[in-house]
Amino acid sequence: MCGLAGTAAVGGRPLSAAADGLLRSMTGTIAHRGPDETEFFRSGPVGLGFVRLSLVDPEGGGQPLSTDDGSLVLIANGEIYNHRELAAGLPAGTRLRTGSDCEVLLHLYRRDGLNFLDRVRGMFALVLWDRTRNRLVFARDRFGIKPLFFHADAERIVFASEIKALFHDPACPRELDWQRALADPAVTGDLVLGDSPPHAWFKGVDLAPAGAVTTFDLTSGERSTHRYWSFPDFDGDTDGSEADLVRSYADALAASVRDCQMADVEIGLFLSGGIDSATVAALADIEPRTFTMLNGSTLENRDAEWAHRTAAHLGLVNHQVLHDTTAVPGVDEWKRHLWQMETPLAGPETFYKYELYRYVAAQAPEIKAMLLGGGADEFNGGYTTTLAGGGDWSDFMANVDRMGTRRHQHRHPGLGAWWEQPGPPLLRAEALRAASGAERRDDYEMLFRTKYRDVQLYNCWHEDRTAAGNGIEARVPFLDHRLVEIVAAIPHTLRPALVWDKQILRRGLAGVLPREVLTRPKIPFYYGSGVRHTYRTFASMLAQQGDRLLDEALAGPGAREYLDADHMRAALRALEEDPGAGHVEFLVRAANLGLLAGMARELPGPLVTAPAAPVLRSVPVVDWSRQAPEIEALVVRREPVDAAAVLARADGLLLLRAPEDDTVWYLTLDGAIEYVVDDTAEAGWSSLLQAFDGERPVGELVAALDLDLKRFEPLVTEALEAGLLVTAAGTR
């Protein structure tokens, strides 16, 4: 992980010495990305700034790198995994002056021109100045794992690894693109297929395209793009059998994991309870220390427990990093995180991931890179069961087709209105598709292309920022083009067998991981049965200090034009009352937009100088089953129930006696059975639940039933957390 920054003059003129100040400001803004070294370069029309996190050749691999004659100058962020293989194929007599994995790129460019990345495997963003042609070259890896942003006008180009650095150039706009952001499916959560290019959220800021080489003629200002890799067509053009495809996928994944271990420093691993990170751990030749987020959500959905069990099975050290249910990000803490992320999609997942990296940086600073399981679900069928809505492959495909139809509705809303009428649509979907002018790709392929966009705009983006903010590099073995190309080639007839529920991965790891891990259903990070803990945490974050974050968001440039302040406050009150009343992510995203608009206008100082909250601690776990009560007590921190509080049963909550056993009660919420109460095991609880009428204080009710409030405090608190009980109107 390194940081790039720079500027280039257009029109054949050199940079003046005044550019040095801009370079220093831009580079200082991204200093967190490279704690090991800072270098500057200025010659002719080009100025470069570079901050280094040294993972390969720590002593001699500094940048900028240049050829012997100085005709080519390079700065690069990332890793070239097959650099030794590429170096071996260079023309005889080629001399590499360092042990850097990136130096080979200079010689590949000199030999192959714009085709120099065709055989490169790795994750990278690079800037190369071709002095002879007076050409500036940008390039990024196939999945956009490493970032590179730029602003260009008729006079100059500024570029950097993070958007915030560009804002130091007075010519770069510092304005949020409200309309584009608010309409993006990544923000709205709209289930629609689409593969429009990822964007940078701010006006006048471009994101260098993934899998492509972008060139600027610094004499004329002309810009051109050469694509060296394109997302594959899902045409199922292989004749391989199921067994052959499973074997090919497993072999390619093992090779990718080996590639991602390339470093001269220690590498760790973030381990969840799912199959993806467990697979990386099992295939690694090293024995990485592993780190897991332990919070209310991952406790209840058992993600943290399964991470512990997987690590124990593999003989790996596992750190359970504690974020208890009373810990709420502070106002300044959230703003710092959001500025680090520079995307409205910052939310619970990005925050928890950032806190994991902070723990590693503080407690294990010798670890400079982290292996991840991210990017697996998007390209091996991880979302098939979710999109099937509890059904099978045919239901999955039917719902994907509906997502495709929705895309065409957006493009041609007049005809699309026929799909909004009650009952089945009376028009043929092909007519809507033809009218919308969409390319002839089937919806199955478009789903994967949509995920390719999602990976660039969210997954790679937040993994880069959360890692870089702590001077660590994130490595993602599942984002290897060889894996995606194998899945793309699966014949139509074999898709239900191999793509459904990630079977190509599950079958490929048979015998490598325990059956319990191989068959465990997908549970997204903090979701599942414990999501209310996370929702409560982030509702509390927005509400603290009298809704200060909402106030600041609504004061951001343009916010009042787009955001409804009254509705935002009402949504927050509802989430405070009942975490299941909505999705806190949408409220956080709306607030993020206003906050980002404000911070872009009034730039915060460098992140390396901003105060940080205390680092989380870990919980030593030896035997999860034996320590379960102790772990739960550390994670789920509950305030004592106030005897003066007035509570009521939630609307829609009914207690129904089981017909077969009069000691058993069913708790139904909105017609669905949610819980079972056994009077034998929890004597008095059903009576107390029925007594909550929204009029009398808890203490009075307990006394009238001759019960002990202390004994029932955990149950009352759990009922409040689950939304079965609510605070009566007009009380707190």
Any idea which residues carry the catalytic annotation? 2
Phi, psi angles (nearest 5°) of residue 249: -65, -45
Question: Using a CB cutoff of 8 Å and minimum separation of 24, what contacts does 386-392 make?
Answer: 386/522
Rounded to whole angstroms, the Cα distance separating 99 from 55 reads: 11
Task: Spell out a b/e string for 562-592, using b for 16 or more CB atoms within 10 Å of the CB, else e.
Answer: bbeeeebbebbeebbbbbbbeebbebbbbbb
Q: What angle do CA 266, 635, 582 make, to 5 degrees?
A: 105
Q: Which two tokens stand for residue 578?
A: 């009942």
CA dist list (Å): 670 to 242, 528, 648, 676, 679: 45, 19, 16, 15, 23
List helix spans (H) across 602-708.
Answer: 624-635, 685-691, 698-704
> What is residue 424's DSSP assignment?
S
Beta strand segments in 569-716, E: 618-619, 646-649, 653-657, 664-669, 672-678, 693-697
Cα dihedral angle (177, 183, 189, 195), rounded to 10 degrees?
Answer: -90
Calculated CA dihedral for residues 175, 181, 187, 188, nearest 10 degrees: 140
State how far the Cα of 121 lies from the Cα of 114, in Å rounded to an integer. Answer: 16
- How far is the C-alpha of 571 from the C-alpha of 558, rounded, in Å? 21
Beta-bridged to residue 664, according to DSSP, are 678
CB-based contacts of 36: which residues, under 8 Å, 6+ apart? Answer: 52, 53, 54, 58
> 């803490």: which residue's tokens?
333
Q: For 126, left (φ over 0), alpha (ψ -120 to 50), or beta? A: beta
DSSP states of 444-510? HHHHHHHHHHHIIIIIHHHHHHHHHTTT-EEE-TT--HHHHHHHHTS-GGGHHHHTGGGHHHHHHTB
Terminal Cα-to-Cα distance of the chain (whole angstroms): 48
Look-up of token digits 């992510």: 585
What CA–CA distance (Å, rounded) separates 78 from 473? 8
Q: DSSP per residue over 350-368, as a string?
A: HHHHHHHHHHHHHH-TTEE
Q: Around Cβ 500, how many Cβ atoms within 10 Å?
A: 16
Tokens of 487: 């899945």
Task: Say how far residue 594 (Cα) sits from the centre of its chain.
Answer: 21
What is the distance between the alpha carbons of residues 360 and 616, in angstroms, rounded to a whole number?
10
Apex CA 29: angle with CA 27 and CA 35, to 5°?
70
Map tokens 């196939």 to a residue.
142
**Residue 659 carries which side chain, given as an amino acid letter?**
P
Closest CA to 44 of 76, 77, 70, 75: 70
